[in-house]
């Protein structure tokens, strides 16, 4: 008769243990798993990717319902184990069921630590631990604007990045003076902070939270220094605590975690623990790689196989925030008796530190370039003595050219690895799993391996090693060019997708997803708007804009504000208005009791605090064109007064600006586009920090491109000098169309120009005939645009979508 195994907890560590056990002894146990969450086992790590829009909930399921059934496992999902009777060897669930066991495994994971602040029970205060929290954040972002994340550790920063991708404004409150102090030294941390600030995060460092403010729902947070921060959502990411309550009440020895020996046994016979709930030699782990190692040891134990036991793990981490490369492993902080080797390159934003103790590598921190991470981690784990050749760890043997690729080569590392060694800690993928996918399933690129095994799909830290295994198995000439898919739903790059759209004349997002074999048939929040844009760019005449693929502000043709109200910004060409228009704006503002009337930085007037149902009425009364303040499109053309009034002006900046705005308004672009025109080189309109800026000079105009005055300030580059107004319009049209046709969706011109190179842009535009062709295409697109508010006002059905809704809407 089979023995009965009951496991409490259906998370990553526990189920990985069960998988190993089934491999070693498929028929030894009748297995029941009690899981409090109503889901099959999913990849908790990837919740950060779901939040960031890089993966869907479906992508992160590790073992679906069929897996349990096919392996004869009884899953009690959505039920909690509430009591364990160690004398009777039984577990009682929240549904009142009693399960007998011969062996019991606690795999109860951790609970997020919630700061016991006054007001912490208000609506809108959550942790980031499970699918429910992730869904709450996604829903909240549809209705609210301002998030505060407490905790500047791995989880807090990943949550913050995800919330920014959801269009929220995010402030991270951190108790320490610098971020990720558990993983980074101050130098790396400051570099990280600068990069994240460029991505739009705001940091409140060395801050102690005092109270959560608000009535029923949170409205802000107060700090001990007397300052406050507004918040519609507070995410606490201040660490975790092993979930040990049930074990403790069952008489199992508990310290910080459930105390286990090297074979994951507790002090009570036949009761074991794995994962974040277990404490081994005084250590509790909060990353999956060690938990998988623990699971493998326990599986061998229960299958009756030989094992040397578990001896603890060296930790390595990588922050999963796109555009940021950070790696940390082992003991990275200097201590008495340690020496470090440091390389800092502020020009390229690269920092590397390796810490030695008695000649051995004991820790490392990498920022900016993490290509040495596998080698360094392996060096730490091997315990190899580098006395006298410490520099080789980073720079390679003397005479090797010192390209920064040092120590054992990655190829040597691959050769030295055993088949069952885990390569991808996030997904528990071994070297053998990868070799099998390459030789048996035909995977020929890292992207193929990611799609097939999930390796490199979590933190991405294993990517260099996955690449090396691919090269070692196939040979360098057979390895397909590595490429990144536009999102987690596909391995196809932006260019491949746009190419396929053009060649196959695909017309809807659904069709693209279907024909190009999207992993997830509905797509995700990242690819849907991108595909909608690419389709409209490729086939302006045929494509019907898909409102459901648009971001909320674009769907509603208004920017949603933090309190769920909207803003109305009529177009004011070149910042020049008339008494009539000003009177109309004033009358509308009074009639609809607009709480705030404000001049914007783009020289127009913003009516803030408008109820959604008032939007059509206000636009009707205004009878002015939409300013597209909400759109990925031409926003504003800022002008100075130019030679109309200014005594320094050499050209008519106002006319130039108005003409540009009238010509290119309503144009859909990959990201927002801002223009400016200055009437002389004094440049009062700040044209050199715009996507395109025109500066008058004696006898002509200079055209500057790819500037940015926002999060990542960048001075624009000179594209060309021209003589006439007509030429300005011609170059602007060609430049904007080239950007439309070649940029990634959501790529500002400043990022795009750095990626493709200014020289390439100049080459593409230098010939008159090329500019003419680009202008012909942009003119075709412009001909087809219509003012959205005119359309809404004239259409009963479009208007009713605004009038029927009374609550703040994100739908």
Ligand X SMILES: Cc1cc2nc3c(=O)[nH]c(=O)nc-3n(C[C@H](O)[C@H](O)[C@H](O)COP(=O)(O)OP(=O)(O)OC[C@H]3O[C@@H](n4cnc5c(N)ncnc54)[C@H](O)[C@@H]3O)c2cc1C
Ligand Y SMILES: NC(=O)c1ccc[n+]([C@@H]2O[C@H](COP(=O)([O-])OP(=O)(O)OC[C@H]3O[C@@H](n4cnc5c(N)ncnc54)[C@H](O)[C@@H]3O)[C@@H](O)[C@H]2O)c1
Nearest to 799 by CA among 811, 807, 791: 791
Residues between 177 and 216 that touch ligand SF4 (CB under 6 A): none
Packing angle between helix 446-453 and helix 431-439, nearest 10 degrees?
110
DSSP reduced 3-state for 784: coil
Residues between 639 and 668 that touch ligand SF4 (CB under 6 A): 640-642, 646, 648-649, 653
- Report the Cα–Cα distance between both ends of the chain, in Å, rounded: 56
- The answer to the question of residue 131 lying near ligand Y (CB under 6 A) is no
Least distance between ligand FES and beta carbon 465 (Å) = 8
452 annotated as belonging to a binding site for a ligand:
no
Residues between 224 and 283 that touch ligand X (CB under 6 A): 243, 246, 275-276
Cβ of 49: how many Cβ atoms within 10 Å?
25
Residues between 447 and 486 that touch ligand FES (CB under 6 A): 455-462
Nearest to 529 by CA among 323, 746, 743, 747: 746
- The answer to the question of residue 107 lying near ligand X (CB under 6 A) is yes
713-719: long-range pairs with CB below 8 Å, 24+: 713/689, 714/689, 714/750, 715/688, 715/689, 716/687, 716/688, 716/689, 716/690, 716/692, 717/753, 717/758, 719/758, 719/761, 719/762, 719/765
| CA–CA separation, 477 and 387 (whole Å) | 37
Cβ of 336: how many Cβ atoms within 10 Å?
5
Residues between 155 and 174 that touch ligand Y (CB under 6 A): 155-156, 158, 173-174
Take residue 296 and report the two structure tokens written for it.
Answer: 């493998």
Residues between 39 and 98 that touch ligand X (CB under 6 A): 44-45, 47-48, 80-81
Take residue 507 and report the two structure tokens written for it.
Answer: 């017309």
Residue with Cβ nearer ligand X (287 or 718)? 287
| CA–CA separation, 492 and 523 (whole Å) | 13
The mark string for 301-320 relative to ligand Y (x by CB under 6 A, - otherwise) is ----------------xxxx
| Alpha-carbon distances, residue 350 vs 192, 195, 198 (angstroms) | 10, 12, 16
Least distance between ligand FES and beta carbon 44 (Å) = 12
Q: Which partner from the list ligand FES, ligand Y, ligand SF4, none does 425 bind, CB cut-off 5 to 8 Å by kind?
A: ligand FES
Residue with Cβ nearer ligand FES (218 or 449)? 449
462 annotated as belonging to a binding site for a ligand:
no
- The answer to the question of residue 288 lying near ligand X (CB under 6 A) is yes
| CA–CA separation, 346 and 87 (whole Å) | 63
- The answer to the question of residue 426 lying near ligand X (CB under 6 A) is yes
- The answer to the question of residue 426 lying near ligand FES (CB under 6 A) is yes
| CA–CA separation, 197 and 160 (whole Å) | 11
Least distance between ligand SF4 and beta carbon 712 (Å) = 25
What is the secondary structure of 178-237 as a DSSP string?
STTTTT--HHHHHHHHHHHHHTT-EEE-S--EEEEEESSBEEEEEETTS-EEE-SEEEE-
Least distance between ligand X and beta carbon 456 (Å) = 12
- The answer to the question of residue 151 lying near ligand Y (CB under 6 A) is yes
| CA–CA separation, 553 and 166 (whole Å) | 12
Nearest to 468 by CA among 409, 408, 393, 392: 409
Nearest to 22 by CA among 239, 265, 296: 296
Phi, psi dihedrals of residue 566, rounded to the nearest 5°: -125, 170
Residue with Cβ nearer ligand FES (329 or 498)? 329
| CA–CA separation, 776 and 787 (whole Å) | 21
Residue with Cβ nearer ligand FES (363 or 425)? 425
Residue with Cβ nearer ligand Y (332 or 802)? 332
Q: Which partner from the list ligand Y, ligand X, ligand FES, none does 40 bind, CB cut-off 5 to 8 Å by kind?
A: none
Contact 292, 425 (CB under 8 A): yes
640 annotated as belonging to a binding site for a ligand:
yes
Of residues 53, 109, 214, 733, which one binds ligand X by CB under 6 A?
109
- The answer to the question of residue 275 lying near ligand FES (CB under 6 A) is no
- The answer to the question of residue 21 lying near ligand SF4 (CB under 6 A) is no
Kind plus residue range of the DSSP H or E element containing 590: helix 579-591
- The answer to the question of residue 163 lying near ligand X (CB under 6 A) is no
Residue with Cβ nearer ligand X (108 or 549)? 108
- The answer to the question of residue 749 lying near ligand SF4 (CB under 6 A) is no
Name residues whose C-beta falls within 8 Å of residue 506's C-beta, 6 or more positions apart in sequence.
500, 512, 515, 535
- The answer to the question of residue 326 lying near ligand X (CB under 6 A) is no
Among the listed ranges 33-41, 232-240, 644-652, 653-661, the one in contact with ligand Y (CB under 6 A) is 232-240
Least distance between ligand X and beta carbon 193 (Å) = 20
Site for ligand SF4, rule CB under 6 A = 640-642, 646, 648-649, 653, 678-680, 682-684
Site for ligand X, rule CB under 6 A = 8-14, 34-37, 44-45, 47-48, 80-81, 107-110, 128-129, 155, 243, 246, 275-276, 286-289, 291, 320, 425-426, 458-459
Site for ligand Y, rule CB under 6 A = 115, 150-156, 158, 173-176, 181-182, 209, 237-240, 286-287, 317-320, 459
Site for ligand FES, rule CB under 6 A = 424-427, 455-462
């Amino acid at each position: 008769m089979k023995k009965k195994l009951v496991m409490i907890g259906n998370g990553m560590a526990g189920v990985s243990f069960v998988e190993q056990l089934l491999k070693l002894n498929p028929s030894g146990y009748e297995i029941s798993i009690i899981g409090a969450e109503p889901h099959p086992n999913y990849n908790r790590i990837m919740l950060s990717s779901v939040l960031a829009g890089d993966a869907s909930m479906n992508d992160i399921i590790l073992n679906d319902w069929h897996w349990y059934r096919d392996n004869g496992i009884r899953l009690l999902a959505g039920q909690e184990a509430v009591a364990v009777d160690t004398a009777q060897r039984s577990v009682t669930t929240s549904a009142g069921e009693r399960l007998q066991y011969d062996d019991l495994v606690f795999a109860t994971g951790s609970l997020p630590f919630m700061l016991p602040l006054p007001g912490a029970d208000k609506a809108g205060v959550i942790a980031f631990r499970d699918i429910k929290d992730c869904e709450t954040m996604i829903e909240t972002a549809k209705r609210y604007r301002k998030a505060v994340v407490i905790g500047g550790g791995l989880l807090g920063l990943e949550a913050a990045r995800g919330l920014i991708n959801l269009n929220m404004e995010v402030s991270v409150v951190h108790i320490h003076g610098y971020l990720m102090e558990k993983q980074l030294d101050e130098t790396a941390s400051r570099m990280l902070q600068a990069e994240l600030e460029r991505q739009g995060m705001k940091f409140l460092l060395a801050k102690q939270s005092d109270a959560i403010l608000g009535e029923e729902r949170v409205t802000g947070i107060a700090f001990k220094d007397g300052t406050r921060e507004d918040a519609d959502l507070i995410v606490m990411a201040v660490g975790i605590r092993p979930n040990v309550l049930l074990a403790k009440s069952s008489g199992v020895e508990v310290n910080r975690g459930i105390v286990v020996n090297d074979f994951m046994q507790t002090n009570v016979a036949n009761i074991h623990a794995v994962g974040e709930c277990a404490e081994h030699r005084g250590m509790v782990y909060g990353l999956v790689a060690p938990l998988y190692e623990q699971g493998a040891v326990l599986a061998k134990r229960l299958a009756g196989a030989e094992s040397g036991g578990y001896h603890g793990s060296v930790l390595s981490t990588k922050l999963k925030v796109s555009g940021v490369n950070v790696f940390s492993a082992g003991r990275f902080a200097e201590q008495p008796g340690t020496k470090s080797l440091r390389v800092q390159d502020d020009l390229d934003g690269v920092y590397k530190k390796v810490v030695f103790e008695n000649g051995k590598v004991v820790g490392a921190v990498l920022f900016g370039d993490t290509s040495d991470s596998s080698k360094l981690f392996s060096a730490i784990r091997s315990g190899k003595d580098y006395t006298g050749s410490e520099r080789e760890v980073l720079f390679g043997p003397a005479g090797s050219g010192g390209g920064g690729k040092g120590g054992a080569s990655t190829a040597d590392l691959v050769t030295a690895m055993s088949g069952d060694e885990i390569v991808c800690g996030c997904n528990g993928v071994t070297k053998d799993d990868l070799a099998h996918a390459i030789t048996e399933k035909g995977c020929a690129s890292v992207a193929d391996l990611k799609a097939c095994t999930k390796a490199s799909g979590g933190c991405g830290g294993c990517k260099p090693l996955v690449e090396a295994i691919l090269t070692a198995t196939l040979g360098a000439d057979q390895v397909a060019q590595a490429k990144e898919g536009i999102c987690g739903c596909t391995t196809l790059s932006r260019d491949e997708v746009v190419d396929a759209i053009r060649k196959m004349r695909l017309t809807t997002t659904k069709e693209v997803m279907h024909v190009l074999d999207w992993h997830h048939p509905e797509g995700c929040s990242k690819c849907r708007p991108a595909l909608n844009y690419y389709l409209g760019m490729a086939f302006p005449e045929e494509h019907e804009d898909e409102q459901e693929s648009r971001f909320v502000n674009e769907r509603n043709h208004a920017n949603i504000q933090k309190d769920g109200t909207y803003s109305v910004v009529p177009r004011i060409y070149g910042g020049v208005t008339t008494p009539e228009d000003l009177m109309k704006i004033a009358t509308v503002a009074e009639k609809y009791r607009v709480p705030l009337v404000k001049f914007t930085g783009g020289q127009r007037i913003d009516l803030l605090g408008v109820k959604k149902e008032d939007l059509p009425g206000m636009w009707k009364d205004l009878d002015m064109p939409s300013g597209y303040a909400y759109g990925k499109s031409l926003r504003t053309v800022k002008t100075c007064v130019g030679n109309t009034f200014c005594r320094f002006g050499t050209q008519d900046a106002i006319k130039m600006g108005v003409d540009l705005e009238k010509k290119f308004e309503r144009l859909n672009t990959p990201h927002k586009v801002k223009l400016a025109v200055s009437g002389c080189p004094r440049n009062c309109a700040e044209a050199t920090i715009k996507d395109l800026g025109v500066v008058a000079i004696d006898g002509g105009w200079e055209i500057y491109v790819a500037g940015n005055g926002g999060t990542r300030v960048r001075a624009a580059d000179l594209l060309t000098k021209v003589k006439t107004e007509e030429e300005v319009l011609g170059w602007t049209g060609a430049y904007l169309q080239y950007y439309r046709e070649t940029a990634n969706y959501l790529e500002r011109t400043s990022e795009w120009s750095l990626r493709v190179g200014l020289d390439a842009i100049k080459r593409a535009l230098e010939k008159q005939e090329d500019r003419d062709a680009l202008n012909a295409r942009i003119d075709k697109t412009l001909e087809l645009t219509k003012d959205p508010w005119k359309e809404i006002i004239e259409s009963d059905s479009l208007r009713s979508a605004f009038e029927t809704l009374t609550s703040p809407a994100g739908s």
